[in-house]
Amino acid sequence: MSCSNNNKTLLDIKDPNIIFDEDCVKEGTYKGKRCKYIFGKLTYTPTHCVKCGVKNIDFTVYKNGTQLSRITLPITGINPTYILLQKQRFMCQACQSSFTAKTPIVQRNCFISQNVKAQVILKSAEAQLLRSIARDCSVSPATVHRQINQAVKQFIPHYKALPKHLSFDEFKYAKGEMAFEYINAESGDILNILDRRDNLTIKNHFIVNYSLTDRQHVETVTIDMNAGYVSVFPRAKIIIDRFHLVQLINRSMNKCRIQVMNQLRMSNGDDMKKYRRLKRYWKLLLKKRSDLSSVEYKYYPLFGQRTGQSIVDEMLHYDPVLKANYELY
């Protein structure tokens, strides 16, 4: 294999029109960072003019100078790698316009190779930080962002049919922003993700993308507590997700404590003491009783040397509603 071909294999460049000379690799710097430059040439004889379409017979289209491009390649070794590509320029005698040679390694007017873009997409599937993908692929975080967005656009979910068992979930995806996803409850496959989770958006999504027959096919939907949109599945049984149920009960118990606590506030000194205790030891009231020790004495500020269970018992005596709720909880 020639030196040029070896280089191409090493760099995953398949374009036969790119040629490398011997000694084509040089070390240098780019934006203050050490890097590798690979000098290459791109030339060929075009079959026609890309501007007017005239066939290239007897040099209708002739070679006319070159244009140098710096294209980012995937890193070879440890430093960013760039190809400095001398692209052939062509002139058309028929239409008097000029154009530059094309190569599949990079899109027109772009300086980031297709391989780098592919690398960005592959890495983004591994849930890596945007910044570290950018560093590993020697591109800017903005480029990573753009590539991911473009890849997402190509992904068109198929709205063919819904599985018998669906599961809905919500999750945080950016600062305070919540997204909605629906999942095949049996296989765990994510069927689609919506960037909003209000009832109207979700309802419309299902109505627009799936027929009533499709929706009638759904037998169960596992949801969190807040789900007005389930009415679009007329025949489905609704299952409330255990995790969300536990979360809700937890929250209600805590709310009850806060209510009782606030009633005690601003009264006499004894009540203020109770208020402070309920405020400080809220976690103990949410704990499983069997997880609280009845034998191990520790120092609890506002209480003194006590066991976890005795503290809870004392606090429950402050209010009958709190006690009743705790027992139910």
Binding site residues, Zn ion, CB under 5 A: 49, 51-52, 92, 94-95
Q: Which residues pair with 73 in a beta bridge?
A: 81
Cβ distance to Zn ion smaller for residue 94 or 193: 94
Shortest Å distance, C-beta 78 to Zn ion: 45
Shortest Å distance, C-beta 155 to Zn ion: 38
Shortest Å distance, C-beta 89 to Zn ion: 13
Determine the Cα–Cα distance for residues 298 and 295; give it in Å rounded to an integer: 10
Q: 82 to each of 120, 163, 284, how far by Cα in Å?
A: 16, 48, 60
Shortest Å distance, C-beta 93 to Zn ion: 8
Cβ distance to Zn ion smaller for residue 92 or 227: 92
For the chain, state the CA radius of gyration: 33
Shortest Å distance, C-beta 28 to Zn ion: 37
Structure tokens at 2: 């020639």
Shortest Å distance, C-beta 101 to Zn ion: 15
Cβ distance to Zn ion smaller for residue 95 or 302: 95
DSSP secondary structure letters along 255-314: HHHHHHHHHHTTS-HHHHHHHHHHHHTHHHHHS-GGGS-SS--EEETTTEEE-HHHHHHH
Helix, strand, coil % (nearest 5) of the chain? 35, 30, 35
Determine the Cα–Cα distance for residues 8 and 11; give it in Å rounded to an integer: 5
Cβ distance to Zn ion smaller for residue 67 or 211: 67
Q: Find out whether 185 and 162 touch, Cβ atoms under 8 Å.
A: no
Cβ distance to Zn ion smaller for residue 55 or 273: 55
Cβ distance to Zn ion smaller for residue 51 or 135: 51
